[in-house]
Amino acid sequence: MTDKKIALLALGFRPFYLLASLWAIFTVFEWLLELQNMGIRSSNEISGMIWHAHEMIYGFALILGYRTRLVAIGLAVFTLLASIAGHAFWAAPADAVFIAQLLFFKNIAVIGGLLVLASSGTGSISVDGFREAK
């Protein structure tokens, strides 16, 4: 007798691919709502387009290696302030403490990575590296 398995669950990572594709479909539609100021962040003072633009600008600056130390320190400070304001686990209700702590300490790890990048700088294949070579 052969043991038949469901193909989707044959390997452990396949359900994650399925969930990631469903998440991608959801976020495309959510972003279209953001462009119309009707999405999740529609009640904020900052529009979704401006919020996304600042994420893209700082992200591309890090990827390209443009003023890496300044950008990394700026993002580290911003992430710290956003973590204190947005994930204050010490003031959260008892049923939300775990998630708030998880998100807060995840952001602390991101800050650590940004500070490592700020201390080491970029390599020779970056905008900063090309400017230093001249």
pLDDT for the residue 10: 64
**Other C-beta atoms lying within 10 Å of the C-beta of residue 100:** 18
120-133 pLDDT, tens digit per residue, is 888 778 888 888 87
Residue 127 lies in a domain: yes
Residue 129 lies in a domain: yes
Round to whole Å and give the CA distance between 65 and 127.
5
Domain range enclosing 93: 65-133
Residue 11 lies in a domain: no
Domains in the chain: how many in total? 1
Round to whole Å and give the CA distance between 83 and 79.
6
pLDDT, mean of residues 53-76? 88
Q: What is the identity of the amino acid at 87?
A: H
Residue 26 lies in a domain: no
Residue 54 lies in a domain: no
pLDDT for the residue 134: 74
Residue 114 lies in a domain: yes
